Structures are given as C-alpha cells and as structure tokens.
Amino acid sequence: MTPDLRDDGSAGPVSGQDWARAVELISAADEIALACHVSPDGDALGSMLGVGIALRAAGKRVTASFGDRRFTVPRLLRFLPGQELLADPAHYPAAPEVMVTFDVPTVGRLGVLTGNTAKAHELVVLDHHPSNTGFGTLNLVDPGAAATAVLAEELIHRLGLPVDKDIATCLYVGLVTDTGSFRHSSTTPDAHAMAARLLATGLDPEKIARELWDRSPFGYLKVLGAVLDRVRLEPEVGGGLVWTFVTRADRAAYGLPYDEIEGMIDVIRRTDQADVATILKEDDDGVWQVSMRSKGGVDVSRVSAALGGGGHAKAAGFTSHQPIEETIESLRALL
Ligand code: 5GP
Ligand code: MN
C-alpha cells in the first residue's frame, strides 16, 4: 500500500521532483550514513532505524548514529529493532557519500556529527520542524507532517521497498510519540491511516506502549516524588507557569539515568492553572537541559529560540549553563 498522494505526486510541501531526486541519490549509493538529533526521542531514532532496516534489506551498507558525546541509546528506546545498525560517532564515516538526517531542524543538533555534514557529498534532510533551516543539499521538510516518521515511511515507499514488522515498529514509535499517543492536534486522518498501515504488519502496540510509557525502575517514583514536592506555580507569569527541576544528585540517590526522567514533563504540564510547564534537568555533565510545554497560549519554540534552543510551538527546549534561578528569571521575562 502506498500513502495517499496529491495530484502532483507530493504529500505536503515536498515536491515530487525532490522525492524523485532523493530516490535517485539513495538508489545510486552503496553506502548510506544516517544520523538523527542528539538525545534522540522516539521519532528521531524510530525514523532513522526504520529507514536503516529498509536500506539494509535492499543491500546497502548502512551506518546510523547520533552525535551525543556519551553515546548511549536511551533505555526506553532499546527495544527498537535495528540497534545493530548503530555505531558510535567515533566510527562514523568522515565524508559520507550520502548522509541522511532525521528530525534535525538545525545542523548543530547533530552534536559531534555536525562536522561530518560539511564533507558529505550529498546531505538529505528529512524533517517536520517548522524551524528547519534547510541545511541539506536536498531538504525533504514537511511542517504539516505529524512526525518525521511520516516522511520516513514515504521515502521507503518511494524507494519501492517493503515495510516489514520491524520497520513498522520503528515508524510507529515515531508516530505514536510525536502525536502524544494520538492526542495532539497532529492527530489527523492521515496519522491514523498511517497507524493502520503499520498495524497491518502485525506489530505489537501493547508491547510498544509498555516499553515507552508504562515501565521504569523503582527509583523513578522516588525521584518523581522529590520533583513534585518542589514544583512551583506562578499564575501571574504569562498565562501561568508551572515549573520544577531534577538535579544530578536527585538521580544519583536512586541510580536513575538521565534518560529516565524524560516523561516527567507530562506530569507537570497537566496543571490547569498554567499554560506553560517547564522542567530543568541537570545532565551528567552538570548542564541544564530545559524542556518546555505549552497548551497554546505561548509559542514556546520562540521562547526557547531566544535562549539558544528550539522546537515546536507546544513542545520546545534549550540548554542552560546558568543556575536554576537565573534561568527561570530569563523565562519569566520572556513569558
Ligand atoms: P524535549 O523537551 O522533549 O526534550 O524536546 C521538545 C522539543 O524541543 C523537541 O522538538 C526538540 O527537538 C526541541 N529541543 C529540546 N531541547 C532542545 C535544545 O537544546 N535545542 C534545540 N534547538 N531544540 C531543543
Ligand atoms: Mn525529535
């Protein structure tokens, strides 16, 4: 089955010519290097591995990676098929013949792989961020797509490659995480139609949901308890701001890895009195990774961009080297 296409053969703002060029470039290459953004989420890693498995099955030599200085796959995403395609950035091709990026809006989000793009002969950018800067030699960017996985599926179809259960599992993880389990406004008929195509391969949605959202080490509950205990509501800031933080020490007390705390923002953001929810997460280097969510009153991608980050209108983030109070003060001023 192929996805629904417009009369001109395109889906969204990616033109039929650009798709044809992508197919041409990728078909002609023996070796393809794939990369997604640092601290990959389900859509970044799922899209990349889905395409990676399909290309490997087509006989290509595939390397896939992301540019974190400490290269580890988030525990939540280790169940994804195709992990054997992943290589430490140290072993990534320095000058790839064809490099394809997934869910990367700005070249800097490739982390330590940023430099590899300059030497790539062709750089194909697959993304759905409205803020994508078009840093590729070919940019397949559709801000109307619910997930980068939507573009990944179309690329696989256009290459004439089959989507098996493993590929479908990867793409489904991208779709289900970026639509917030089909709760966000990105939950279009097309998103459900794609889910139907993927489910038809026999993938296990119950297992996927359990891996992504319904399990964690016991220490998660203890850290969440501390994080909720110190949460602050500032109704007078913007349309209301609710915020909290997680330190390295909080996590160390229960041996909780950094990537386990990603879902905590979803608890914080349920607060009725706040349009914006923010959580500051201290990583293993002592740097603060700040996650922001909005119910729509404020475009948090603009706030994040003003502080050196980016993202979507309702989900964005940035990195801060300031102490907590100073970061929050900057946020208050912008909100
Ligand atoms: P999360 O809060 O789930 O880590 O990220 C939400 C959104 O914000 C994602 O689309 C992600 O790409 C973006 N984002 C998060 N952190 C950063 C950052 O430090 N820099 C940029 N440019 N975007 C970020
Ligand atoms: Mn992403």
pLDDT tens sequence across 105-126: 999 999 999 999 999 999 999 9
Give me the pLDDT at residue 13, please.
Answer: 84
Centre of ligand 2 from the C-alpha of residue 43, in Å: 5
The arithmetic mean of pLDDT across residues 14-37, rounded, is 98
Closest residue by CA, ligand 1 atom 20: 309
Radius of gyration of the chain (CA): 20
Q: Is the model's pLDDT at 8 over the cut of 80?
A: no
- Mean pLDDT across the chain: 95
Q: Residue 12's pLDDT band (boundaries 50, 70, 90)?
A: low
Closest residue by CA, ligand 1 atom 10: 311
Ligand nearest to the CA of residue 173, numbered in listed order: 2
Q: What is the DSSP string of 91-115?
A: GS-SS-SEEEEES-SSGGGGGGGHH
Q: What is the amino acid identity at position 324?
A: I
Give the ligand 1 atom nearest the CA of 318. 19
Cα–Cα distance between 281 and 262 in angstroms, integer?
A: 9
Q: Which residues of 158-187 are buried (b: 16+ CB within 10 A; e: fewer)?
A: bbebebeebbbbbbbbbbbbbbeeeeeebb
Ligand nearest to the CA of residue 310, numbered in listed order: 1
pLDDT tens sequence across 208-218: 999 999 999 99
Q: Is the model's pLDDT at 226 over the cut of 80?
A: yes
Closest residue by CA, ligand 1 atom 19: 318
Q: In the chain, how many H helices and how many E strands?
A: 12, 11
Q: What is the amino acid identity at position 84?
A: E
Higher-pLDDT residue of 246 and 262 is: 246
By most ligand atoms within 8 Å of CB, the mutation choice from 37, 66, 109, 266 for ligand 1 is: 109
Q: What is the DSSP string of 102-159?
A: ES-SSGGGGGGGHHHHHH-SEEEEEE--TT----SSEEEE-TTSS-HHHHHHHHHHHT
Closest residue by CA, ligand 1 atom 16: 317
Q: Residue 69's pLDDT band (boundaries 50, 70, 90)?
A: very high
- Taking CB atoms and a 6 Å cutoff, what residues make up the pocket around ligand 1? 41, 109, 291, 309-312, 315-319
* Interstrand relation of 310-311 and 288-294 (parallel, antiparallel or unpaired): unpaired
Would the pTM of this model clear 0.95, i.e. be above it?
no
Cα–Cα distance between 211 and 76 in angstroms, integer?
A: 6
Q: Is the model's pLDDT at 313 over the cut of 50?
A: yes
Residues 255/228, Cβ–Cβ less than 8 Å: no
Ligand nearest to the CA of residue 259, numbered in listed order: 1
Give me the pLDDT at residue 168, please.
Answer: 99
Give me the pLDDT at residue 218, please.
Answer: 96
The arithmetic mean of pLDDT across residues 91-102, rounded, is 97
Ligand 2 ion: residues within 5 Å (CB)? 41, 43-44, 103
Of 254, 243, 309, 251, residue with least CA distance to 280: 243
Tell me what percent of the residues of the chain surpass a pLDDT of 90.
94
Q: Is the model's pLDDT at 289 over the cut of 60?
A: yes
Domains of the chain, start order: 16-213 (3.90.1640.10), 218-334 (3.10.310.30)
The arithmetic mean of pLDDT across residues 34-57, rounded, is 98
Region for 247 from its dihedrals, namely left if φ exceeds 0, alpha if ψ lies in -120 to 50, beta otherwise? beta
Q: What is the DSSP string of 296-322?
A: SSS-HHHHHHHTT-EE-SSEEEEEE-S
Encoded tokens for 100: 């394809």
The arithmetic mean of pLDDT across residues 271-289, rounded, is 97
Of 152, 171, 164, 169, residue with least CA distance to 57: 164
Centre of ligand 2 from the C-alpha of residue 236, in Å: 31
Ligand nearest to the CA of residue 305, numbered in listed order: 1
Q: Is the model's pLDDT at 5 over the cut of 80?
A: no
Centre of ligand 1 from the C-alpha of residue 113, in Å: 17
